[in-house]
Amino acid sequence: MAHQHRYDAQGRQLCCNQTEKVYQQAEQLMNGEHKHDEDHDHDHNHDDGHNHDHSNKEGSIVKLFLPALFSFVLLLSGIALDNWIPQSWFKSWIRIAWYVAAYIPVGLPVIKDAFKSIAKGAVFSEFFLMTIATLGAFAIAEYPEAVAVMLFYAIGEVFQSMAVSRAKANIKSLLDQRPDEVTIIEGDNTKTVKAANVAIGTVLQLRPGEKLGLDGELLSESASFNTAALTGESKPDTKSKGETVLAGMINLNTVSQVKVTTAYTDSKLSKILELVQNATAQKAPTELFIRKFARVYTPIVVFLAIGICFLPYFLVADYEFQDWLYRALIFLVISCPCALVISIPLGYFGGIGAGSRNGILFKGSNFLDTLAAIKHVVMDKTGTMTEGVFKVQEVVFSDAFDKDELLRLVNVLESNSTHPVATAIHEYVGTPDSSIKMEQVEEIPGHGLKAMVNGKSLLVGNFKLMDRFKIAYTTDPDRIAHTLIAVAYDHKYVGYLAIADSIKPDAKTTIDLLHGQNIRATMLSGDKDSVVQFVAKELGIDTAFGDLLPEDKVNKVKAIKAKNEKVAFVGDGVNDAPVVALSDVGIAMGGLGSDATIETADVVIQDDRPSKIPMAIQIGKQTKKIVWQNITLAFVVKAIVLILGAGGLATMWEAVFADVGVSLLAILNAVRIQNMKFST
């Protein structure tokens, strides 16, 4: 990575080294690179005092400021000798040497970086701008101003680097949640080994306070875990024997045993970390524009500065070279686009970090931008607004059939499905009978399952399945509030199983929060319409449609998008893949439950709470707001001071504020998002 250049979508090298530096710092940390190689250290650190690894202690922070502190003391004493302390010796070469000594600690590293960037083909970098501006100031004997410009630039560099590290603090803490070593049980003994080398089926011992290194099945009777690393929730989660526990969870109370069920690289936490590591690859349109803008903008202002210096010779009667050179140097200092190219990616890093702290994973800053513009949220019902945990309420079969025998057949056929309804039937009937052999098993999307058993057809699904195969039935499904699973055997209607699901505790709050943001909510479900309308009425959802096939959901979303509304779809990210692909942002609920969900969705809600949907939109809006505040601040202040500088009304001190001052204000504004509280 040390000498790689970053390229934009058109494959053109970025001109602004500061942008490249910020992104390389971010990617190093997010890829787990805690140590720099030698070339990278020389390339991106001014000297030992400018080491950009700010995850160290206070001593490192003091060390960062030492060169600037040394320059500041010399500069302040030089200004005092110039203006306030009467003496006769501080003149001529002594005065020049004094200010040169003040300049070297902060200026020499920047000059070196300017030459290195030129050697790589990136001539118009901010290092080049600062070098020619300050050396030019020395050439016209403006020594204190030359030192001050470089001093404040160096201080800005340190604060910028610290802000980048702080913006990634939440992500770094997430990366630290996966322990490298685990304790395994071998016979009567325990042994500590590398987590990456542990085989599936190995039994782990987890003491109180330890983090689980791999996904597994709890063998102990019960144990409580802190799941904050995965869900953002600090509330303990108690697991029972046989339940799944995940890497990153912290054991709270008793020594527990866990049987490993997933390889280290395939664990849920590994998938999440991979997602977070790749998040910065997807750039928001605002980011891409600013980076392209900086590449064009910087050489333009260099040539404008040259014009400011020399063109007045042909236009002004009393032209003085030193006066117009000073104006050109001020123009150069002001024109440095650092405030834009630093604070904007910082804002998006902060948004992604704020999301991860709250159990929301964004796959890129572009999705933060899109979420900020969402006007309509379309959601699935089961598993999104309801628990997705079905229970059989009653079984209504015709007396002409053997109820127990048919339930066994239905149970075996449903073992071919992963739908929550199948789980409910398994819990009600028991373990599927392995002696029953099903043939020609077929899943009919949006309808149910079909198979041959004992030479006879078996249909299990909704009543649309009965209609499809022209099975006559006497039940009126619209008069029953529960979800109904119809059964037909040997081309005859048998009856139905009534299954109920419960609404999630924060589902109503979710809809209220969406309405508070002027966002409409629509529910689309394959469940029967009477159930869907009941849930929608309970929650206050604007519109709801039931009895939908996958293609029906696609048509409904197309109709919404035809109104030029930005649409987010919330579902499981797998069964609703066509709708997820069609929507502007796909949001997956229950990221911990499905690897495929993490792969498919643009945003993953890790803890199944629908109230995180409006929170994600809120984070997107706040991020975009902060980014545009920074853009406006930088452009307005720089434009004003550029005009004043070109007209001779601004000094180098105003130029310092327009460059470093605005950069610092923009950075402080960008990191605000990390401290914001978002309601759920």
Q: What is the 3-state secondary structure (H, E, C) of 396-417?
A: EECCCCCHHHHHHHHHHHHCCC
Residue range 528-550: mean pLDDT, rounded? 88
Stated pTM of the model: 0.63
Q: Which fold has domain 179-265?
A: 2.70.150
pLDDT attached to residue 27: 43
For residue 14, give the DSSP letter.
P
pLDDT attached to residue 29: 38
Q: Which of 175-184, 576-585, 624-633, 650-659 has the highest mean pLDDT?
A: 624-633
What are the start-end ranges of the H helices in 336-440? 338-357, 365-372, 403-414, 420-429
Cβ neighbours of residue 192 closer than 8 Å, sequence gap 6 or more: 181, 182, 183, 184
Cβ neighbours of residue 357 closer than 8 Å, sequence gap 6 or more: 170, 232, 674
In Å, how far from its chain's centre is CA 318?
Answer: 58
pLDDT attached to residue 176: 54
Residues 563 and 578 sit within 8 Å (Cβ to Cβ) = no
Percent residues over pLDDT 70 in the chain = 78
Other C-beta atoms lying within 10 Å of the C-beta of residue 518 = 7
Q: How confident is the model at residue 550 (pLDDT cuts 50, 70, 90)?
A: confident
pLDDT attached to residue 271: 66
Q: Which of 198-202, 325-329, 627-631, 674-678 has the highest mean pLDDT?
A: 198-202
In whole angstroms, give the CA distance from residue 242 to residue 508: 32
In whole angstroms, give the CA distance from residue 267 to residue 215: 6
Residue range 362-370: mean pLDDT, rounded? 85
pLDDT attached to residue 105: 93
SS3 (DSSP) at 21: helix
Residues 524 and 380 sit within 8 Å (Cβ to Cβ) = yes
Side chain identity at 157, as an amino acid letter?
E
Average pLDDT, the chain: 78
Residue range 447-467: mean pLDDT, rounded? 91
Say which range, 18-27, 421-430, 573-582, has the weakest mean pLDDT. 18-27
Q: What is the 3-state secondary structure (H, E, C) of 58-102?
A: HHHHHHHHHHHHHHHHHHHHHHHHHHCCCCCCCCHHHHHHHHHHH
Q: How confident is the model at residue 545 (pLDDT cuts 50, 70, 90)?
A: very high
pLDDT at 623 exceeding the cut of 70:
yes
pLDDT at 343 exceeding the cut of 60:
yes
Candidate list 215, 380, 584, 608, residue with the active-site label: 380
Residue range 486-511: mean pLDDT, rounded? 91
Nearest of 216, 223, 280 to residue 248 by alpha carbon: 216
CATH 1.10.357.10 fits 361-386+503-618, yes or no: no
User: Which residue matches tokens 């970025």?
Assistant: 14
Question: Tens of pLDDT along 258-313?
Answer: 999 988 877 766 666 665 555 545 555 665 666 666 677 777 877 888 888 889 88
Nearest of 612, 535, 566 to residue 380 by alpha carbon: 535
Q: Between residues 592 and 261, which one has the greater pLDDT? A: 261
pLDDT at 315 exceeding the cut of 90:
no
pLDDT at 496 exceeding the cut of 90:
yes
Q: How confident is the model at residue 12 (pLDDT cuts 50, 70, 90)?
A: very low
In the chain, where are the structural domains located? 17-170+277-351+622-675, 179-265, 361-386+503-618, 391-500
pLDDT attached to residue 60: 64
Q: How does strand 222-226 pair with strand 439-444? A: unpaired
Residue range 437-444: mean pLDDT, rounded? 89
Please state which of the four CATH numbers 3.90.1150.10, 3.10.129.10, 3.40.50.880, 3.40.1110.10 is assigned to the domain occupying 391-500. 3.40.1110.10
pLDDT attached to residue 55: 43
Residue range 189-217: mean pLDDT, rounded? 89
Question: Tens of pLDDT along 402-415?
Answer: 999 999 999 999 88
pLDDT attached to residue 272: 62
Residue range 222-232: mean pLDDT, rounded? 71
pLDDT at 174 exceeding the cut of 70:
no
pLDDT attached to residue 44: 36
SS3 content of the chain, % helix, strand, coil (to 5): 50, 15, 30
Residue range 53-60: mean pLDDT, rounded? 48
pLDDT attached to residue 228: 62
Q: How confident is the model at residue 51 (pLDDT cuts 50, 70, 90)?
A: very low
Residue 248 tokens, joined? 């990153």
Residue 137 tokens, joined? 């100031």
Residue range 364-381: mean pLDDT, rounded? 90
In whole angstroms, give the CA distance from residue 242 to residue 638: 63
pLDDT attached to residue 443: 86
**How many residues would you count in the chain?**
680
Q: Between residues 513 and 391, which one has the greater pLDDT? A: 513
Annotated active-site residue 380? The verdict is: yes
